[in-house]
Structures are given as structure tokens and as C-alpha cells.
Structure 1
Amino acid sequence: MALWQWLLAHWLVVATYLFIAVDVTLRVLGLILVPRNRRPGSALAWLLAIMVFPLVGFPLYLLLGKAQLPRKRREKQKAVNRLMRVRSLNIPDTALDDDVPSWLRSAVRLNRELGAFPLTGNNSADLEIDYDTSIARMAADVRSAEREVHVLFYTMGLDPATEDFFAALVEAAGRGVTVRVLYDHWGSLSHGPVYRAMRRHLDAHGIEHYPMMPIKPFRDGAFQRPDLRNHRKLLIVDGQVGWMGSQNLIAAHYDKRATIRRGLHWQETMVRFRGPIVSGMNLLFATDWYYESSEQLPEAALVAAPEDTSGTYECQLVPSGPGFVLENNLLLLNQLFYSATHRICAVSPYFVPDESMLSALITAARRGVEIELFVSEIGDQFLVFHAQRSYYTALLEAGVRIQLYRAPTILHAKHVTIDDSVTVIGSSNMDIRSFILDMESTIMVGGTDFMEKMHEVEDVYRSRSRELTLEEWRRRPMPMMLLDNLCRLASAVV
């Protein structure tokens, strides 16, 4: 009783000492925990947050500081990776031509080591950059299905732009085709009414579907940071036709009031593949299906003999994400940037490179490689948009040409071309989130004809852009420069 009365009488002093003790403890714990196995830039950003606001920064670090899946899910990933390696052995490696540069051979070996998927030949690929046309073409492929349809998109919603695609799924299921659907939980849930309408539609017609990476903080018996997402975009029909690229299954304005009010809409690039590469895409879908449904799809249904082998493109699938030991997409792009001899063209809506990628690009530019970077003139994500602008000065000074895709369109396409040798295309942005936190799917494509198609797409994007000059950039207001640099610091907190 006497102690309680003393505490009441001296509560302000006690609270002050308690606050100081907690404050010091959190700072010390931050110094111990944060630097372990972390990039210096990321560690410094977290330590700054903890040192300035310990009571806020340290809990945030516990919530968002580890870019890895819970232990049970990591074990599942390891098992799936082993299985994927075994299954991918049934997809034979194709032989590269004798005149292929040695650095491309090295890239193929690197990809096989990182993601287990082989290089496949005799593939064909068509590009589609019109938003509504790509949805219509995917719906047409679904209507041609005879056995199974696999659908995986980061964002999905039932709205006027996608209703025909979902009608095609229902028609396919109605004639006995097995339809499996995956969508990222947060990537779709955040779109509210159209997400709920999609779920009701799939449930009403008995189509099996699962949210990927569901936001359940203590799923699998351990805390899972909520911003680890599955960002892939895949459609596979009968193991014979595969779609991959940057586009989500939702209206081009994403059904958001703020976006519609600003008149924004998204510009995408999708690729329709035929040939052996589609079996690899099917295997990748099967790994995500296993994560969410615990159903292991039979290999015979996934690795199918291609009906069309008339194509001439070599293709290799490169999956990446927090379930892998290394940042597969980052390592591939860096290797290609250092190998380029005369030209790099990169298209990315969110360009926030880590130190290694920035160094690779600047080094390439300084040694005479012509580099062109396409980004949007305006942004839909405040922090990322201003963070990426903080890199423009160093790039422009090195000689990189920056093309700003004109408003009100958000250039959401994601692809890179290197010399006249290879294209990398898929769902991965050139930012820290895509390298570390998101599950991504990328395909490396070789073939002169495909490069010509990519150059045609680049020409279209160039005609819709304006070039940013170093002189113009140096004239930007000082408050804007300070904001860009501040957002760059915040973006390092991963």
C-alpha cells in the first residue's frame, strides 16, 4: 500500500524514468538487431527511424523489418523449389546458337541456378499493348479451353471491362473445364466492390479460387509482415497458351474514385506465348496453387507436350520473391546491364533501384552504352513517384535518356531490352519492393524477330513521351528536390 501511494505521489518522476529506460532499451536493441544480414542503406534508414522515434520506429521494425515468409511457409517454399527443380528436368534445355554472345550463355546458367527453369526453344510470342484488346484476347483463349484454365493476377475485379473474361471462365467451367483462380489478397481486396463482386461471381458458379498471401498476421504459426505480396500475372490455357506481362484483370482506371477524378488510366504490355515455355509457366502457377490450397497438381497435367513448336524464340522463366534465397530478378538485370555493349532500353512504372543496379546502369552509360529509361510523367503512388525522381540527376549526368510518358496515362509496362540480343519482360518493376518483397514472374526472351516487335513497342511509347533534359531537371523547385530526397530515404526502409 505504501509503495502504491508513493507511486501515485511521484507518478511523473516514475513515468519519466520509465520512458527513458524504454527509449534507451529500444535504441540499443535497434543497434543490435537491425544491421544483421541487411543492406547498409536499409539498415541506416531503419536505425534513423528508431533513433528519432524509438516508440514508433522499433514496433514498425518488428512489423515490417524482416522481408521473409514465416518458417512454415519457408519450409513449404523449399519443398516446392526442390520439386520444381525435379519437374523442370522434364523440360529439356535448348541449345543456343554458336554466335550467341558468351554473356548471354552466362545469363542462362545464372537463371537456371536461381530459379531452376531451363531455356526452351521453338516458342512463339505476340505482344499486345492495347488494354481492352488484351482482355478480349485472353477471354477468347479461355473460351477455346478443353481441359483446364489457370488464372493468377495480382489485382482482379469484376467490372464492365472484365465481365466478358469472367463470363468466359463460367462458360469453360460449365462445359467441364477445370478452372483454378488465384489473386493477391491485398492487391484485390483494396478495390472493394469489384473484388467482392468477383468473389460472389466465382462462388456462384462453383469455380475454385483462393486469395494469395492472405492478410492473417499469425498464419502458419508465426508473424507474417502484411506487405509481402504475390505480384505475378499469369494465364495458362490447356498448358498450350500462356499470357504474362504487367496487366491486371481490372478496368484501366482501376475502379478508384481518385483515379477516375484525375482521369488516369494504365498502359500495359502483355505477351501471349505458345511452345515449351508454357509448361514452365504452368509449373510456376502450380507452386502458388500449392501454397494457398495445399493441393499438389500432378506433373502430367502441368508439363504438356507443346502442340505448336513452329516458333523460333528461346525463352526462360525467372521466378523471384521472398521465398527465394537471392533476389533473382535483380541479379539477372544487373548481369545484363554489365554485359550490354551498345544499347539498354528499360520501361518501369516504379524505378527505385538499389545501389547495385544504379551502379550497373551508370557504369554502362559511362562506358558508352546508350541507355533509355521510360517512366511516367505523373505518379499514382506518392512515395515511390518522388523517390524515383531523386535518381534522375545521377542518371542524366551519366548520359541516360529519360522519357516521361505523358499524363494522364500511367505507363505500367515492365520490360528491358539489351542490345539486339535479349528481352526481359514480366511483372517485375525495377524497384526495391519487386526485388525483395513481391513474388514476381519474368521471362527472358531471345530472338531477332521478337526484338523487332519490342522496338516497335518502344517506338510507340517514345511517340507518347517527352524527353527530360538535365537543364530542365536542374531548374526544378528546391522544395520539390528536398521532398524527392526525403522520399528516397523512406523508400530504403525494407
Structure 2
Amino acid sequence: MDGWSFALWVAIFLVAVDFVIRVVSIIVIPRNRRPQTAMAWLLAIFFLPYIGILLFLVLGSRHLPKGRRDKQEEINRYILDTTEGMDQVSHEHPWPEWLEPIAALNRNLGAMPLVGGNDARLYPDYLESLQAMTDAVGKAKRYVHSEFYIMSLDETTAPYFDALEAAAARGVTVRVLLDHIASLRYPGYRRTIRRLKSMGVQWQLMLPFQPLRWKFQRLDLRNHRKLLVVDGLVAFTGSQNIIDSSYNKRSNKRRGLHWKDLMVRFEGPIVAGINALFVTDWYSETDELLTRETDPIREVRVKDRVGAQVVPSGPSFDGENNLRLFNSLLYAAQERIIICSPYFVPDESMLYAITTAAQSGLDVQLFVSEVGDQPVVYHAQRSYYEELLKSGVRIWLYRSPTVLHPKHFTIDEQVAVIGSSNMDMRSFSLNLEISVMVRGHSFVRELRMLEEDYRQNSRELHLDEWLARPFGAQVLDNVARLTSAVQ
């Protein structure tokens, strides 16, 4: 066979493989996927068939390994059995009619009950919240459960590490979880691991990608939760990681970027629910089920007690628990919806819920950052502004160089949701998240005051200004939007 014939047969073979890839993709990819997600994958494969199919084989499934999903189901059954009859909350101040079905939805999806008798305190200052968590660890007598997406030893966080070490030295059981890939991405990872090894605490990487140890799954399935539980009496959760507010990156420091976060300190029955999430994740990583440290429900005596419900979500669940909760609340709103999300890339269902609320005459406001730290997500987020503004949503841009990182929203004067979950496809489908639904006028009032503080430090974006932005920026935003649905 001469060279020309060989080249011809190679070309025929490649064309045939290309054709097969496209046909098989049309059959396989749309199965059990959102249309927009399937379309994004198909576009990638049709434009770059060989690269696209390799990416799909690596990133195409959003499910964790079956063993981890089985553990989640086991924990869910345990939680349902041990919390039977605990769905008890105060009905002082009439409940909105729409709340009980949503609480039942959360219970069915995530197993956690809605419980009353809780105290909740907001910590909107980065250093103050870190100090409050450090102080809580310093008072621990039985155990400390610390779980954070990013955990890094630096000058700002050193006192927290010292408190964990001191607690272990006085006989307190200290368990630490940190996400492997997320923590690895930031300066000081090796220093952090050395410190953990020397502290006398029990620690594990979450969702480790260590192929040589047969520990691997899809790389971008991450545990994004942030929580701390001390003695089953006090719990913290929210948006803040254990790292300096600059995230220690040279590029951030050069731009002057720093993160503004929000944590909430809970006391009362909800602490047991937050601890149950730690127990779940510890079991997933170690095969050790901490049933002896699953605490009983404890009410607290405070003036303005609130009802609260933990809603876990992520690829260990069949459904997108957080997205279902968010959409249910958005459609239930009667007067006002105020959202704060650092990464706002909604799926079609959420976009319809938000724009429908605004077009119905509700006061709908969105707080996002004027500046972005993740270019693709930042531009994908901007691609939604035109549709939101045209529907009547008011958009507030928190002024640079602060990255507004809290993740919460309020519905009327009744209900709030706070936690680790962004309003984007990554948080809906790919990340393990914690959300806490809180029902209480006092809590919502505090968030309203915080929202006003955001407003004072933001500028409002108007439609005419947005439509006048450069054509190149519009193209970049819309191209980035195509990546948002790939999962």
C-alpha cells in the first residue's frame, strides 16, 4: 500500500469515528440530563469531537461512587429513625400557609426535621467570626467537629489551629475535615497538612483525588460545606473558609481583593442536625459511624427563638435538594425576595422563578460583586443581567475590591436560607452543600439590616447602562454562559 492509499484509509477511519461519536452522543448524552446541559455537551463534542468526548468521559457523570451514595442512604435512614416525632416548632405568629409543605419537602429530600427553640446570631465580620469560632473551640469539653471546604494555616488562621491543638491536648476529641482539591489550590497546603499531623487531632481529606491509593472520582465533585460543631451545644455554618480574607494569592493581593463573608452561630436543636452532616461526611471518608456522638435535641431559652431546618444537598443525593428548596420558596413569596450570591448562574427553572416573581410586582433584589475572582463564572453571571433587569429585578453591585461572598436570601418577612450554597449549577449538582432554612421574624430583621449595609456599599445597575456596555464584553459574557450548564 502506497502512502497516498494509507492516508486515504486513515482519513476514512477518522471520518467514520467522528460520525460514530456524534451519533452515539446524540443518543447517550440527553438521557436524564437537562436540555441545556445536554446541548452544552453536544456543542462541545460537535465542535471538538475527540477532546469533547474525552472531557465527557471524565466529567460527564455528576454522581459520586456508589459506595458513597449507599452510605448517604444509610445515614438518611438513621436520621429519619432517630428524629421521628421531632418536627416540632412553635406556631406563635401565624405560619404562612406555604411553609409546611416546603418543610415536608426538605424532610423527604434530606431527612432532617424542622425544629424550634433555636438561637441564631449573625457574624458578618470576617475576623470577628473567626475569633468566635476559635473561642468556641477553646471552651470545648467533649468534642470538636470542624469541616471546611478550604482550610489553610496562615497568620490569620493560626489561632484557630492553636485552639484545635489545645483542645486535643486537654483530652477533647477533635476531628477535622477539609476538601482535598480546594485546599490544595491555595498557598500553604503542605504547611497546613504538616500542622494537622503534628497537632494530635483526627483529620481526613474530603473527596481525595489520590489515584495511587485508589481514591478517585470526578475531580470537580467537591465538598463545599463549612461548619463547626462544639460539644453538640454550639454550631457555626455559612460562607466562610478557614483562610485569610485575601485567600493568600498574589493576584488577589495585587488587585487588593478581600472576601466579605457571613457565618451564623446556632444554639438549640438545630445543632444536632448540623452535626449529623459532619457525621455523614466523616462516615463517608473513614467508614467510622459516630452514633455515640449524635446528640439529642436540646432547646435553648432565649427571647426570640427561631425554627430551623438543615437541608443537605449534593451528588450523594438523587435530587438537587437545594435547588428544589430555593425554587419552592421563590414561588411562595408574596411581597419581597432579596438574594445575596457571589456566584449567580441560575438554571432555567430558577431564572423563571425569579423573573416571574419580579414580573408579578414583587420587590426582587439581587446582591452580587462588582468584581469577580473566577473569570468564566463572573462573565457567565453577567450574561443574565439583561433578562433580570428587563423583568424588574433590581441588581446591586457591591463595590470593588471586596468580593461579596455571603450566600443567603430572604422571603417576605418570614423565612431566610443561609449556608454554603451558591445559586449556580455547581452548587446545585456538583458540590456537597449545607443550607439552613430559618423561620423567624427576628432573624429576618437582622438579615434585612445586613442587606441595607450591602446596599449602602453598592451601586445599583440600570438597564440603559448595561445595554451600552462594549460589544466585546457582551460576546464574552454570552460565550461564558455556554459553559455554565456543563456538568
- Pairwise same-fold verdict (TM > 0.5): yes
1:117 match:
112
Matched, 1:302 2:297: no
User: C-alpha offsets along residues 171-199 of structure 1, whole Å, 9 cap, x if unaligned?
Assistant: 10000000000011111011142x22221
Q: What is the distance in 1 between the residues matched to 2:136 and 2:2? A: 73
- Paired residues in the alignment total 486
| Equivalence for 1:215 | 209
Distance 1:398 1:489, change over 3 A: same
Structure 1 position 374, deviation (Å): 0.1
Give a deviation string over 1:95-147, Cα, whole Å, max 9, x none.
53471111111211111111111111110011011101111110000000000
- Alpha-carbon separation, structure 2, partners of 1:7 and 1:22: 23
Match of 1:407 in 2: 400
Determine if contact 2:169/2:200 at 8 Å carries over to the other structure: no
Instruction: Show the counterpart of 1:387.
Output: 380
The amino acid across from 1:386 in the alignment is H
Aligned twin of 2:70: 75
The 10-residue stretch of structure 1 (13-22 or 404-413) with the greater mean CA deviation from structure 2:
13-22
- Cα 1:90–1:283 change in 2 (3 A) is farther
Where structure 2 has 5 or more consecutive residues not aligned to the other structure, the ranges are none
- Code of the residue aligned with 2:403 in structure 1: it is I
Provide, for residues 50-81 of structure 1, a one-character-per-residue CA deviation record: whole Å limited to 9, x for no partner: 11110111111111111111222222222222
Contact kept? 2:269, 2:299, Cα under 8 Å: no
Aligned to 2:416: 423
CA distance in 2, matches of 1:219, 1:203: 19
Q: Deviations over 1:328-362 (max 9, x none)?
A: 11111111111111100000000000000000001
Aligned to 2:256: 263
Letter in structure 2 aligned against 1:476: R
SS of residue in 2 equivalent to 1:484 = helix
The answer to whether the Cα contact below 8 Å between 1:72 and 1:220 also exists between their aligned partners in 2 is no
1:340 paired with 2:341, answer: no
Tell whether the 8 Å contact from 2:187 to 2:249 is kept in structure 1 after alignment: no
How far off its partner does 1:251 sit?
0.2
Moved over 6 A (4+): 218-221
- Residues 98 and 164 (structure 1), Cα distance of their counterparts in 2 relative to 1, 3 Å cut: closer
Aligned to 1:32: 27
Comparing 212-221 and 261-270, the one that deviates more:
212-221
Paired with 2:89 and 2:435, the residues of 1 have a C-alpha distance of 19
TM-fit CA distance, 1:220: 7.0
CA distance in 2, matches of 1:393, 1:434: 23
SS at match of 1:10: helix
Report percent identity of matched pairs. Answer: 50
Partner residue of 1:482? 475
Q: Secondary structure at the match of 1:425?
A: strand
In 2, the alpha carbon distance for the partners of 1:58 and 1:363 equals: 37
Cα separation, 2, equivalents of 1:278 and 1:450: 17
* Preserved CA contact (<8 Å) 1:234 1:244: yes
Cα distance in 2, alignment partners of residues 305 and 490 from structure 1 = 44
Which 10-residue stretch deviates more, 200-209 or 382-391?
A: 200-209
Offset at residue 92 of structure 1 (A)? 4.6
The letter of the residue matching 1:162 is T
- Distance in 1 (CA, whole Å) between partners of 2:168 and 2:43 is 54
Contact in 2 for aligned 1:276/1:309 (Cα 8 Å): no
Query: Residues 244 and 270 of structure 1 are in contact (CA less than 8 Å); yes or no, is this contact kept in structure 2?
Result: yes
Give the unaligned 5+ runs of structure 1: 1-5
SS in 2 for 1:179: strand
2:461 pairs with 446, 465, 468, which one? 468
Contact 1:73 1:220 in 2 (8 A): no
CA RMSD after TM alignment = 1.6
Q: Within 2, Cα distance between the matches of 1:419 and 1:369? A: 10
Contact 1:428 1:442 in 2 (8 A): yes
What pairs with 1:271-420 in structure 2 (closer than 5 Å)? 271-298=264-291, 300-306=292-298, 308-310=300-302, 312-420=305-413
- Residue 237 of structure 1: how far off its partner (Å): 0.4
Structure 2 equivalent of residue 126 of structure 1: 121
- Structure-2 separation of matches of 1:85 and 1:77: 12
- SS, match of residue 482 in structure 2: helix
Match of 1:59 among 54, 61, 79: 54
- Quote the Cα distance in structure 2 between the aligned partners of 1:281 and 1:297: 14
CA contact (8 A) 2:187 2:248 kept: no
Q: Quick one: structure 1 residues 191 and 368, their matched pair in 2 at CA, closer, same or farther if it must change by over 3 Å?
A: same
**Residue number in structure 2 paired with 1:456:** 449
